[in-house]
Amino acid sequence: MFTLRRAQEADRAALYRICLETGDSGQDATAIYADPLLLGHIYAGPYLSFAPDFAFVLEDEAGVGGYVLGAPETRTFEDTLEQAWWPPLRAQFPVPPADPAARTPDERLTALIHQPRRTPGTLLANFPAHLHIDLLPRAQGGGRGRQLMDTLLEALRVTGVPGVHLGVGERNVRAQGFYRHLGFEELGRTPGAVTFGRRL
Ligand code: ACO
């Protein structure tokens, strides 16, 4: 039996672990990265720190088994991270090699710490919010992904957010099917990733 609740600071380690254990196109990425916290520094930690009203978790007797993390105003969120989140991480992790082909998996992530992607303004005009959702295998496939999404989308809607976007790995066809089923439309593709959006 899972319960759904707002995420708390005490969940931080669990969010980082789930981020890693679903970080290879939905599969466990533990064997890929030498530093187990890197994925979480980018895709989980900042949301708990700077958008806690839009962070929800599923919990059962074994602990936290999934989350959805959102940011209502992506540009404001990016600016906040530039001021307050990335600087200490930049001091901690060296600048990776300039040639992307020469980077290790960890260095591909530290490149995102030193040069975070800025979301195109054309996308933000209609879909200013964005989100990440990850459930461990024991929580998947029972309607709980939809439950988490409904909870976050309603929280965004009552805040007055007109639309939400997300990026998903090209290889993660399961999650792509899930988003399409929930009414998201494909907005574009870059090498390796698909962008989806949904009006609220
Ligand atoms: N194709 C079509 N429909 C689907 C698919 C699919 N691949 N997957 C689920 N659905 C449908 C279900 O049948 C269900 O339909 P219904 O409500 O009409 O009966 C509905 O979508 C909801 O399914 P859930 O059971 O809630 O899905 P689940 O709990 O497995 O959550 C998720 C989906 C979030 C992808 C989960 O499996 C997961 O966390 N996977 C691993 C991590 C991952 O890949 N995360 C996405 C990363 S990308 C990002 O965060 C932006």
- Note the pLDDT tens digit of each residue in 92-102: 999 999 999 99
Q: How confident is residue 21, by pLDDT bands cut at 50, 70 and 90?
A: very high
Over residues 114-130, the mean pLDDT reads: 97
Q: What is the DSSP letter of 104?
A: -
Q: Identify any residues that bridge with 196 across adjacent strands, giving them in sequence order.
A: 166, 186
Angle value at C-alpha 40, between 34 and 44, nearest 5 degrees = 170
Let me know: does 168 contact 178? Beta carbons within 8 Å: no
Let me know: does 95 contact 54? Beta carbons within 8 Å: no
Averaged pLDDT score across all residues of the chain:
98
3-state secondary structure of 168: strand
Query: Can you identify the CATH homologous superfamily of domain 3-162?
Result: Gcn5-related N-acetyltransferase (GNAT) (3.40.630.30)
| The pLDDT value given to residue 57 | 98
Q: What is the DSSP letter of 138?
A: G
Who's near 174: CB < 8 A, 6+ residues apart?
26
Angle value at C-alpha 101, between 99 and 104, nearest 5 degrees = 100
- Residue 177's alpha-carbon distances to 25, 84, 134, 162, in angstroms, are 13, 35, 15, 23
Decide: 141 in ligand 1 pocket, CB within 6 A: yes
| The pLDDT value given to residue 84 | 98
Residue 109 identity: L
Q: Identify any residues that bridge with 24 across adjacent strands, giving them in sequence order.
A: 27
Please indicate, yes or no, whether the overall pTM of this predicted structure exceeds 0.90: yes
| The pLDDT value given to residue 72 | 98
- What are the sequence ranges of the domains in the chain? 3-162
Alpha helix positions (H), 9-143: 12-21, 38-43, 45-50, 74-84, 86-92, 105-114, 121-126
Decide: 12 in ligand 1 pocket, CB within 6 A: no
| The pLDDT value given to residue 132 | 98
Q: State the closest ligand 1 atom to the C-alpha of 168, by its place in the atom list counted from 1.
A: 48
CA of 140 to the centre of ligand 1 (A): 7
Neighbours of 8 (CB within 10 A): 12
Locate 173 and state its tokens: 């066809």
3-state secondary structure of 169: strand
- Note the pLDDT tens digit of each residue in 68-113: 999 999 999 999 999 999 999 999 999 999 999 999 999 999 999 9
Decide: 26 in ligand 1 pocket, CB within 6 A: yes
**Candidate from 57, 178, 181, 184 with most ligand 1 atoms within 8 A of CB, to mutate:** 178
- Note the pLDDT tens digit of each residue in 26-82: 999 999 999 999 999 999 999 999 999 999 999 999 999 999 999 999 999 999 999
Q: Cα 15 to the chain's mean position, in Å? A: 10
| The pLDDT value given to residue 49 | 98
| The pLDDT value given to residue 59 | 98
CA of 114 to the centre of ligand 1 (A): 32
